[in-house]
Amino acid sequence: MKWMYSQRLAPYLFVLPFVLSLTIFFVYPVLSTFIMSFQEVLPGQTHFIGWANYKNLWDESFYTALWNSSKYTFWTIVVLIPLPLALAVFLNSKRMKWSGFFRSALFVPALTSVVVAGIVFRLVFGSLDASVMNSIRHLFGFETINWLAGSTTGMLVLIILATWRYAGINIVYFMSALQSIPDELYESASIDGANTWQKFWRITLPLLKPISIYVITISIYGGYAMFTESFILWSGNRSPNDIGLTMIGLLYRHGIEKNELGLGSAIGVVLLTITMVINVIQLRLFGLFKKED
Amino acid sequence: MSVRKFNPQTLLLLVLFVILGAIALFPFYCLALASLKPSKELLRFGLNIKLQTDLLSWHNYSFIFSKGGAKYITWYKNSLVITAVYTVLCMLFSSMVGYGLAMYRFFGRNLIFFFVLLVMMVPIEIIMLPLYKQMIALNLIDTFSGVILPFVVAPLPIFFFRQYAAGLPKDFLDAGRIDGCSEYGIFFKIFVPLMTPAFGAMIIVQALASWNSFVWPLIVLNSGEKLTLPIGLSSLVTPYGNNYDILIAGSVLAIVPIMLVFVFFQRYFVSGLTVGGVKG
């Protein structure tokens, strides 16, 4: 056992758990996703079928799922970047009082599981006359609607749910970045005669760029990986006309519910490719790969 | 502090945030209210925001603790066991790996760190099918081990511990060696205590993630007495809503422990949840 105590070997023993876990639960599954996507996987008689899974996956439900996931990702980014950024700037301003308390209040929804959040939103956006959102509509003279029956209102509920759960986390991200901006920058800008608005555009916003890129990147992966929200709101993986079907929902439907592991894997590969391409485009657009000038 | 002391901008901001805070907390009010109303009422009329004090009672809660709520109590216990075991193992492994990556220079270190970042980026949902197949092959379907093992060496805490350990003075390592301590003794006796704040943040974040996790336990577990809280609750959500008595009060009881921990250990949540945003 003495060899275990050598200084040269010690680092390898420290990282061993990760290497094992990486091999068994990441590298192997990722590789087998690629392999299975070219196979028909049946108990005892798995065989290669070339590109057939990739040819077969372009049916109507695929386009619906891709469209839903893309819409969801798009709207969550449109709402969940500027809004938390502005709120973080407000909370961080010297004029604000009790900002720690308000930050916590806005953060609390992030503590709930998606399941519990979905259960609450089913109640709040219930289809009956007396349920919360419909009774608010009545105050403004609108009639009762069945929120989860239409694709537009259904998507709206998903976006509101996402905003409610994630705004607080993104505020915390932006606030931690804001707090790392040195005060001297603002002081010297004031001496040069810059007003608040100019300071925001010329100092704050450019210095928030790295954290914004990070938040956008995780939002793209998170948006396309959305599944549970829809699973709970529509009580299972089936919604009327698939209005709540997401890419992961489709993957789950083929891979787990119908046991078509090959086709499910092909969907997984396509999804991974889409999210990576969008992220590379996004990162290029925001100039992460550009050299600093 | 009197209101006159505030200038108009401060007042405007306060009004804005009081409204936003109320909106953020409103769904909790709705959930608490619904948990006190009879399920028949919710089924027939939906959730009315009005208090309707004559309808409110603790009946749903007493039902959970009666014979009828036995399955809920089982799910609660399962979630507690899985969260506890997961969190302890995750802390042990990820602190080891993070420490190893930060303290030693060795062949393959950068490659391993690259993989830590890569695994952090890929959503688990994308690899769930082959992982499911892997679980069948390893005979881990419908077991707690199957829920815990694949994610117990988690990249996010590894990254966090690596960053934290990199900021600690390496002199302790040399001092320990001179005193004749083994490499592992140095880690457990000197550095683990030094990393206490990092453990605080990661314990909270990982326990929260495990308590709330849904997709993977949904795939691995299938017999009723093994379900975790989120899966069990989701099984009560049906198009007919006929399980409201356990569902709503059960949801309240599922978030109460998290809220309590949050109130007492808030700063750990904040530092722990913004891990990825820290520049590497």
The confidence band for A293, taking pLDDT boundaries of 50, 70 and 90, is very low
Rounded to the nearest angstrom, the minimum Cα separation between A159 and chain B is: 14
Give me the percent of chain B exceeding a pLDDT of 90: 51
Handedness of CA A190, A195, A197, A201 (dihedral sign): negative
- Taking a C-beta distance cutoff of 8 angstroms, is the pair B90, B158 a contact? no
- Taking a C-beta distance cutoff of 8 angstroms, is the pair A29, B130 a contact? yes
The confidence band for A100, taking pLDDT boundaries of 50, 70 and 90, is confident
Among the partner-chain residues B47, B233, B251, the one whose CB lies closest to the CB of A132 is: B47
What burial class does residue B32 get, using C-beta atoms within 10 Å of its C-beta: 0-12 exposed, 13-18 middle, 19+ buried?
Answer: middle
Pairwise CA distance, residues B49 & B27, whole Å: 10
Domain definitions of chain B by residue range: 3-64, 68-277
Pairwise CA distance, residues B61 & B37, whole Å: 11
| Tens-place pLDDT, residues B227-247 | 999 999 998 887 666 678 889
Name which residue leads in pLDDT, B90 or A129: B90
- Taking a C-beta distance cutoff of 8 angstroms, is the pair A23, A16 a contact? no
- Taking a C-beta distance cutoff of 8 angstroms, is the pair A279, A220 a contact? yes
- Taking a C-beta distance cutoff of 8 angstroms, is the pair B230, B70 a contact? no
Pairwise CA distance, residues A289 & B104, whole Å: 30
| Tens-place pLDDT, residues B154-192 | 998 999 899 889 988 888 888 898 988 888 999 999 999
φ/ψ of residue B108, rounded to 5: 95, -5
- At B118, which amino acid appears? L
pLDDT value at residue A94: 84
| Tens-place pLDDT, residues B80-95 | 999 999 999 999 999 9
Pairwise CA distance, residues B264 & B256, whole Å: 13
Pairwise CA distance, residues B190 & A208, whole Å: 37
The confidence band for B66, taking pLDDT boundaries of 50, 70 and 90, is confident
Judged against a pLDDT cut of 90, whether residue A223 lies above it is answered with: yes
Domain definitions of chain A by residue range: 59-285
List the one residue out of A87, A121, A109, A132 whose CA is nearest residue A234: A121
Average pLDDT over residues B6-16: 88
Pairwise CA distance, residues A125 & A154, whole Å: 10
pLDDT value at residue B102: 93
pLDDT value at residue B16: 94
- At A15, which amino acid appears? V
- At A273, which amino acid appears? T
The SS3 of residue A9 is coil
> Which residues numbered 197-226 in B keep a CB inside 8 Å of some CB on A?
208, 211-212, 214-215, 219
φ/ψ of residue A48, rounded to 5: -75, 135
Pairwise CA distance, residues B263 & B254, whole Å: 16
Residue B185 to residues A10, B173, B177, Cα–Cα distance (Å): 11, 10, 10
Give me the percent of chain B exceeding a pLDDT of 70: 94
pLDDT value at residue A32: 87
Average pLDDT over residues A5-10: 82
Average pLDDT over residues A145-150: 88
Write down the CATH number for the domain with range B68-277.
Answer: 1.10.3720.10
pLDDT value at residue B276: 55
Among the partner-chain residues A176, A232, A252, the one whose CB lies closest to the CB of B277 is: A176
Judged against a pLDDT cut of 60, whether residue B280 lies above it is answered with: no
Tell whether B242 is within 8 A of chain A (Cβ).
no
pLDDT value at residue B278: 45
Handedness of CA B84, B90, B93, B96 (dihedral sign): negative
Average pLDDT over residues A272-281: 86
Inter-chain CB proximity A112 and B99 less than 8 Å: no
Tokens representing A12? 């390898």
Pairwise CA distance, residues A255 & A247, whole Å: 12
pLDDT value at residue B29: 93
DSSP string, B52-68: -GGG--SHHHHHHTSGG
Judged against a pLDDT cut of 60, whether residue B269 lies above it is answered with: yes
Write down the CATH number for the domain with range A59-285.
Answer: 1.10.3720.10
Tell whether B101 is within 8 A of chain A (Cβ).
yes
| Tens-place pLDDT, residues A261-275 | 899 999 999 998 988
- The per-residue pLDDT of chain A, averaged, comes to 89
Rounded to the nearest angstrom, the minimum Cα separation between A218 and chain B is: 8
pLDDT value at residue B274: 67
- Taking a C-beta distance cutoff of 8 angstroms, is the pair A26, B120 a contact? no
CB-based contacts of B59, cutoff 8 Å, min separation 6: B38, B245
pLDDT value at residue B5: 66
Number of alpha carbons in the 13 Å side-chain half-sphere of residue B100: 29
Average pLDDT over residues B112-136: 87
Lowest mean pLDDT among A93-102, A248-257, B57-66, B117-126: B117-126
Inter-chain CB proximity B183 and A135 less than 8 Å: no
Among the partner-chain residues A25, A96, A127, the one whose CB lies closest to the CB of B13 is: A96
ipTM: 0.87
Tell whether B8 is within 8 A of chain A (Cβ).
no
Judged against a pLDDT cut of 50, whether residue A292 lies above it is answered with: no
CB atoms within 10 A of CB A169: 22
Number of alpha carbons in the 13 Å side-chain half-sphere of residue A71: 19
Rounded to the nearest angstrom, the minimum Cα separation between A122 and chain B is: 10
The secondary structure of chain B in percent helix, strand, coil, rounded to multiples of 5, reads 80, 0, 20
Residue B26 to residues A108, A116, B49, B61, B158, Cα–Cα distance (Å): 11, 14, 10, 21, 36
The SS3 of residue A40 is strand
pLDDT value at residue B113: 92
Residues in chain B within 8 Å Cβ distance of A87 = 20
pLDDT value at residue B240: 67
Among the partner-chain residues B49, B127, B184, the one whose CB lies closest to the CB of A29 is: B127
The confidence band for A278, taking pLDDT boundaries of 50, 70 and 90, is confident
- Taking a C-beta distance cutoff of 8 angstroms, is the pair A242, A59 a contact? no
Tell whether B126 is within 8 A of chain A (Cβ).
yes
The SS3 of residue B154 is coil
CB-based contacts of A74, cutoff 8 Å, min separation 6: A223
